Amino acid sequence: MHSIGLQTSNASYFCERFESSGHLGVEQREYLRSIAAQFNTDLCFLKGDLLPQEIRVLAMDMDSTLINIECIDEIADFTDKKAAVAEITEATMRGEIKDFKESLRRRVALLEGVEANALESVYRERLRPNPGAAELLTGAHERGLYTLLVSGGFTFFTEKLRQELGFKQTQSNTLEIIDGKLTGKVVGDIVDGAAKAAYLDEACLRLGCTKTNSITMGDGANDLIMMNGSGISVAYQAKPVVKEKADAAFDRVGLDAAVLLIS
């Protein structure tokens, strides 16, 4: 076991780095994390054969991972239906609603009639990158990583974040807009958990590597397929179902702590 200090953009903590050829069970990991929490510490359980220098791809979720909000919930606030939409969002992220596509369709339907300029208002007034986001992307690009933003959210926001933070590729859903208003429908195929994983696999294939050469980050149940089997999986401020399966759980450090895991 090796201990490494994590100095991030917003706070300084310690992250214990466990390297073992064996596998700790869920209960063991939860027990160790509960002890660490008493000392304001995050724990990372890294694979014993992991070679950080072989990580070539960073793939991450957007809503509540890269950024501070669930965009769809905030758009719904313009219809006074935020509570109804947020309830579905939370149940989906906790893994209680298994069909992400149906969940998204139900939520988007509640946005029918919203003025399209509400999207710009959400971006400018409510959306903020989570602590360490800019430093994470800078560090990843300095190390030559291919950066992929894969989201069950919307292209309006992923495209702006691509321009702001420099992602090499973004994949998300497109809201249908007619006569300046949302129709309550999504255009084209929906990006769900399986699609996120497929986009990561495609990126790795183009680069001549595999998913084991990636670091993945997410917070909800629909990120688990993408995270499973990656070289390092990071749960950021995540739901319990994600934390228990992730190699690293960031509850105190910023997103940029992930750079230290591949240094």
* Lookup result for tokens 């105190």: 252
Bridge partners, residue 45, by sequence: 18
Quick one: tokens of 57?
Answer: 């791809």
Report the C-alpha gap between 60 and 68 in whole angstroms: 14
Quick one: which of 83, 166, 158 has its CA closest to 123?
158
- What DSSP assignment string belongs to 76-90? HGGGT-HHHHHHHHH
Position 225: which residue type?
A: I
Longest dimension (CA), the chain: 60
Active site residue 99: no
Catalytic residue selected from 42, 49, 63, 189: 63
**Measured between alpha carbons, how far is 177 from 182 in angstroms, rounded to an integer?**
5
Identify which of 102, 77, 113 has the alpha carbon closest to the alpha carbon of residue 152: 102
Active-site entry in 61, 73, 192, 256? 61
220 touches 61 (CB < 8 A): yes
63 classed as catalytic: yes
Under 8 Å between Cβ of 227 and 209: no
- DSSP characters for 120-179? HHHHHHT--BPTTHHHHHHHHHHTT-EEEEEEEEEHHHHHHHHHHH--SEEEEEEEEEET
Hey, which residues are catalytic here? 61, 63
